[in-house]
Homo-oligomer: A and B are copies of this chain.
Amino acid sequence: MGVDCHHPESAQPGLEGLALADAVAAAANKCERTRERLTPPRRRVLELLLEADGPMKAYDLIAAYGQDGEPAKPPTVYRALDFLERLGFAHRIESLNSYVPCRMEGSSHRAAFLICECCGTAEEFEPDFAPQFAAAEAAGYAVRTVTLEARGLCPACKPEA
C-alpha cells in the first residue's frame, strides 16, 4: 500500500471450503426471501470477494472470473457488483476503488471501514453516526446513506505493538 511494509500480506483470510459454501448459501437464502435472483455471474463475483484476502479491484475480479482463466467482460462484473451492493452483500471502498464482501450481520445502507495503509486490509465496523446525523439534520439535510473510511495502521502494522 501507500507505505512500504515488511509485514506479511493481509491479516484478513478469505473463506474457503465449507465456510465459503455457507456464506454463499446464506446469501442465496436471503435472495429467495426477497424475490431477488442470485444469478451465476452474481454468485461468481460474490464467491471471488469472499475468497479474497482483502479488498479486490474490479479488474482483479474481471481477471479472476473464469475458472479456466478466461476473464469476464467488464460490464458483467460491474453489474454484479451493483447488485451485490444494492442487496448489501458487498461494499465499495471509494478511496481504494475496491470492493469487499459485507462482514456485518444486519445489512444496512451504512458502511464504515478501518483501512490499513501498510498491509491493505480493510476492516468493516459498525459505525455510530449519531453526531454526524444530528449535524446533518440540523443543517436541513435529509441523509440517505453515509460512508466513512478511516485510514491508518492496523494493530499488526503499528510500530510499537
Contact = CB atoms under 8 A, between A and B. Distances in A.
Interface residues of A, number: 34
Interface in A82-133: 94-95, 112, 114, 116-117, 123, 125-128, 130-132
A152 to B, nearest CB: 4
B141 A154 contact: yes
Copies in the complex: 2
A148 B149 CA distance: 6
A132 B150 contact: yes
Nearest to A128: B131
B155 A141 contact: yes
Given A114-B136, A128-B135, A135-B128, A152 B142 contact: yes
A151 B146 CA distance: 6
Interface in A11-25: none
Contact of A151 (B95, B140, B143): B143
Contacts of A127: 131-132, 135
Interface of A: 94-95, 112, 114, 116-117, 123, 125-128, 130-132, 135-136, 139-155, 158
